């Protein structure tokens, strides 16, 4: 399994990460109900298989099914201890942050997590002001880190607005989780160079990607222009993100053993990745 050091956390993690949204959310992307014992057990088995195959990074959140995803992860990862890196999330308000994390720890069956992230999509100027202010959520997370309830803190975002750069440049957060894939390349423009992934890397932060396989968006477009849907693009999409040397972890939501095994095979095929500089060539030397 390909590994990376997750920024200033200093932790070595698998570059393929197990995303927890599909585990907790009913009918997320396809039909699924975690309330059905056989379907829940299938996810537990998938997580256990992921550990066997070398995946060490597991990402979840209390918002994924009102704690259901965390409970499934807690069941599956019980006894793994320091073999795995467990990340969860918290709201953008300092009020109730400690209570939220304590609930996550109970569901995850742990006395601490490796990473707590502010769970957001797009932050306004006012939100960011409040987050970074004395007594804001960042200060609260710093306190929770000081107490040992989490070893690292970070934020998630699907945007690349000024607020993202303010959070990076604050120097107070350890990890950025961002939407980045074949169709959403805005965080990384290597020909300028420009983008929040580059900025986060320069700041010493770990970089984790969400929506690595585009959450079905590219696949929907392909089916619209090619109704026969004659090609499985998932492997190519994963290879694209893993080809970026600044991406420490590419998250992929998984629910079954077969999907885990396919994605691990792709992640292990380092020679099959297309160098990104070739993708951005515009001219041909003659």
pLDDT tens per residue across span 29-82: 789 999 999 999 999 999 999 999 999 999 999 999 999 999 999 999 998 988
Residue 285's pLDDT band, with cuts at 50, 70 and 90, is low
Scanning the chain, the segments in alpha helix (DSSP H) are 21-24, 37-52, 68-77, 97-108, 125-132, 137-146, 162-169, 196-202, 217-225, 234-242, 257-268, 276-279
Across the range 97-103, mean pLDDT stands at 95
Copy the structure tokens of residue 2: 């390909």
Q: Which residue has the higher pLDDT, 145 or 231?
A: 145
Taking only the tens place, the pLDDT of each residue in 237-267 is 999 999 999 999 999 999 999 999 999 999 9
Copy the structure tokens of residue 191: 């020909």
Does residue 279 sit within a domain? no
Across the range 123-132, mean pLDDT stands at 96
The CATH number assigned to the domain holding 137 equals 3.20.20.100
Across the range 151-161, mean pLDDT stands at 95
d(CA 150, CA 242): 27
Does residue 281 sit within a domain? no
pLDDT at 209 over 70: yes
Structural domain count, the chain: 1
Does residue 284 sit within a domain? no
Does residue 192 sit within a domain? yes
Across the range 197-218, mean pLDDT stands at 94
How far CA 161 is from CA of 39, 124, 204, 223, 281, in Å, comes to 39, 9, 20, 31, 27
Does residue 111 sit within a domain? yes
pTM exceeds 0.75 for this model: yes
Q: Which residue, among 183, 186, 137, has the nearest Cα to 159 in the 3D structure?
A: 186
Q: What does the angle CA 263 – CA 265 – CA 269 come to, to the nearest 5 degrees? A: 115
Q: Which domain holds residue 73?
A: 3-268
Does residue 274 sit within a domain? no
Across the range 127-138, mean pLDDT stands at 96
> What pLDDT score does 86 carry?
98
Does residue 282 sit within a domain? no
d(CA 63, CA 17): 18
How many beta carbons lie within 10 A of that of residue 90, not counting itself?
27
> What pLDDT score does 134 carry?
96
- Mean pLDDT, all residues of the chain: 93
pLDDT at 284 over 70: no
Report whether 62 contacts 16 (CB < 8 A).
no
d(CA 150, CA 142): 9
Does residue 81 sit within a domain? yes
């Amino acid at each position: 399994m390909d590994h990376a050091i997750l920024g200033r956390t200093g932790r070595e993690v698998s570059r393929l990460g197990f995303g927890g949204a599909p585990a907790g959310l009913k009918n997320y992307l396809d039909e699924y109900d975690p309330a059905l014992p056989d379907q829940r057990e299938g996810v537990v088995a998938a997580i256990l298989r992921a550990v066997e195959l070398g995946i060490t990074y597991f990402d979840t959140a209390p918002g994924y099914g009102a704690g259901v995803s965390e409970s499934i992860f807690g069941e599956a990862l019980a006894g793994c201890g320091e073999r795995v890196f467990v990340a969860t999330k918290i709201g953008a308000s300092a009020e109730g942050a400690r209570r939220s994390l304590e609930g996550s720890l109970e569901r995850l069956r742990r006395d601490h997590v490796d990473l707590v992230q502010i769970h957001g999509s797009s932050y306004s100027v006012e939100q960011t002001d409040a987050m970074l202010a004395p007594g804001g959520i960042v200060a609260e997370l710093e306190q929770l880190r000081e107490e040992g309830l989490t070893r690292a803190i970070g934020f998630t975002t699907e945007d690349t607005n000024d607020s993202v750069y303010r959070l990076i440049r604050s120097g107070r957060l350890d990890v950025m989780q961002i939407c980045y894939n074949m169709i959403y390349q805005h965080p990384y423009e290597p020909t300028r160079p420009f983008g929040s992934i580059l900025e986060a890397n320069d700041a010493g932060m770990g970089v984790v990607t969400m929506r690595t396989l585009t959450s079905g968006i590219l696949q929907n477009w392909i089916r619209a222009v090619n109704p026969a849907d004659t090609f499985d693009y998932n492997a190519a999409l994963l290879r694209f993100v893993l080809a970026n040397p600044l991406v420490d972890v590419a998250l992929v939501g998984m629910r079954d053993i077969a999907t885990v095994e396919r994605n691990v095979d792709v992640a292990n095929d380092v020679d099959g990745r297309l160098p990104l500089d070739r993708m951005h060539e515009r001219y041909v030397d003659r």
